């Protein structure tokens, strides 16, 4: 089947990503391999200090801890690639997780799949609000999502009114979703892996996915090439919101006890995972595989530092250093590739 399957016949002509993005492809693959190496070294050092770090339960806990962050990092990647950012995802997670709890309180017999779909749709609506303001009103994404971060959280606090939803309020089948495993692999980790694979396929195989990169590389050039920039940016925010909604449902299933503070502070960790994973904060390049590795690395860092009895402050310091290093590397690559392109143009 052609890679164009699933796109409309009247879609815009295919847009090739900016040469800088193509030239940086090899470096991004090297960065992803370096993340794998860093993970291996970190796990090895921690296991030497405490061999129980590699036992089955510890590995299972690591996968469970990373699953929700991976899903959020995938959605954030799609948005950042289009040269935007969504700071409201933590609030969406909290709002959806509490909403799912209220759904089960109001209708205890609700099927789990219905709760999952309701959460995804609710997240997509939040993404639609963000995307509409960014794409239609032309308001910077940083400003819009900083505002909706507080709006969604305010709605959550007002709705909760100090109420806490406990595990006993959820049906056992729903809670089982957060703890079940298949051949030793947590179901949440399997869901996260499916999300990563599906998003990678969308960005690589479909014209609309490739247009995300074209927009991030050069929005004006993409628009002149016939790309519906506003529509694509809107769809990126909706997809990100839907994944945040899914993450909210899984958060409720994973932890069982939900209040208005659920998901607080997650947005910065999500952005950090994407950037550390090689997604250029300036847009136009990056992969969901790298973002997933970044999320896994942050999860392992948090667990390893606790096992090694290192002050939690250093976890934040390490994450901050990794973000600065990633952004600095992106700028260095952009400058060197631009210089190379100018040299090629001169010799041409």
What is the predicted pLDDT for the residue at 303? 87
Count of residues in the chain: 348
Q: What is the pTM of this model?
A: 0.86
CA dihedral of 338, 232, 241, 113, whole degrees rounded to 10 = -130
**Is residue 267 within 8 Å of residue 69, measured between CB atoms?**
no
32 or 89: which leads in pLDDT: 89
Query: Strand, helix or coil at 186?
Result: strand
Instruction: Count the Cβ atoms, other than its own, within 10 Å of residue 168.
Output: 9
**Is residue 273 within 8 Å of residue 69, measured between CB atoms?**
yes
Calculate Rg over the CA atoms of the chain: 21
For 308-321, how does the pLDDT look when each residue is reduced to its tens digit (9 = 90+)? Answer: 888 777 777 877 88
Say if residue 246's pLDDT is above 90: yes
For 90-141, how does the pLDDT look when each residue is reduced to its tens digit (9 = 90+)? Answer: 999 999 999 999 999 999 889 999 999 999 999 999 999 999 999 888 889 9
Query: Strand, helix or coil at 91?
Result: helix
Q: Is 59 exposed, middle or buried (0-12, 13-18, 19+ CB in 10 A)?
A: middle
What is the predicted pLDDT for the residue at 5? 41
Say if residue 7's pLDDT is above 80: no
What is the predicted pLDDT for the residue at 334? 62
What is the predicted pLDDT for the residue at 24? 54
What is the predicted pLDDT for the residue at 13? 45
Say if residue 230's pLDDT is above 80: yes
How large is the average pLDDT for residues 241-255? 95
**Is residue 239 within 8 Å of residue 287, measured between CB atoms?**
no
How large is the average pLDDT for residues 151-166? 91
Instruction: Calculate the alpha carbon distances from 86 to 143, 246, 250 in Å.
Output: 10, 16, 20
- For 218-286, where are the alpha helices, taking DSSP H only? 219-224, 229-255, 266-276
Question: What letter does residue 18 receive in the DSSP assignment?
Answer: P
CA dihedral of 188, 72, 232, 21, whole degrees rounded to 10 = -110
What is the predicted pLDDT for the residue at 95? 95
Say if residue 181's pLDDT is above 60: yes
Euclidean distance between CA atoms 68 and 320, whole angstroms: 21
Domains of the chain by range and CATH?
19-342 (1.10.3470)
């Amino acid at each position: 089947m052609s890679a164009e399957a699933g796109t409309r016949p009247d879609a815009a002509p295919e847009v090739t990503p900016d040469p800088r993005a193509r030239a940086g492809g090899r470096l991004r693959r090297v960065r992803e391999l370096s993340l794998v190496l860093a993970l291996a070294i970190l796990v090895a050092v921690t296991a030497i200090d405490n061999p129980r770090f590699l036992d089955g339960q510890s590995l299972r806990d690591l996968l469970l801890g990373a699953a929700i962050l991976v899903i959020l990092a995938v959605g954030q990647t799609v948005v950042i690639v289009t040269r935007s950012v969504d700071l409201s995802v933590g609030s969406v997670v909290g709002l959806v997780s509490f909403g799912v709890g209220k759904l089960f309180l109001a209708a205890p017999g609700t099927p789990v799949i219905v709760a999952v779909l309701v959460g995804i749709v609710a997240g997509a609506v939040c993404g639609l609000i963000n995307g509409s303001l960014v794409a239609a009103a032309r308001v910077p994404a940083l400003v819009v999502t900083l505002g909706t971060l507080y709006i969604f959280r305010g709605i959550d606090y007002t709705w909760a009114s100090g109420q806490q939803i406990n595990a006993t309020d959820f049906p056992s089948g729903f809670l089982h979703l957060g703890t079940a495993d298949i051949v030793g692999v947590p179901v949440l980790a399997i869901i996260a892996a499916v999300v990563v694979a599906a998003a990678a396929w969308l960005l690589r195989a479909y014209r609309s996915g490739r247009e995300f990169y074209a927009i991030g590389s050069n929005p004006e050039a993409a628009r002149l090439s016939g790309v519906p920039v506003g529509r694509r940016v809107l769809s990126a925010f909706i997809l990100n919101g839907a994944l945040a909604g899914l993450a909210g449902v899984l958060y409720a299933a994973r932890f069982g006890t939900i209040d208005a503070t659920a998901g607080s502070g997650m947005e910065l960790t999500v952005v950090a995972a994407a950037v550390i994973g090689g997604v250029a904060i300036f847009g136009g390049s990056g992969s969901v595989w790298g973002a997933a590795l970044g999320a896994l690395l942050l999860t392992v860092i948090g667990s390893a530092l606790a096992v090694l009895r290192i002050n939690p402050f250093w976890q934040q310091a390490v994450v901050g250093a990794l973000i600065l290093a990633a952004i600095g590397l992106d700028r260095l690559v952009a400058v060197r590739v631009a210089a190379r392109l100018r040299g090629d143009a001169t010799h041409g």
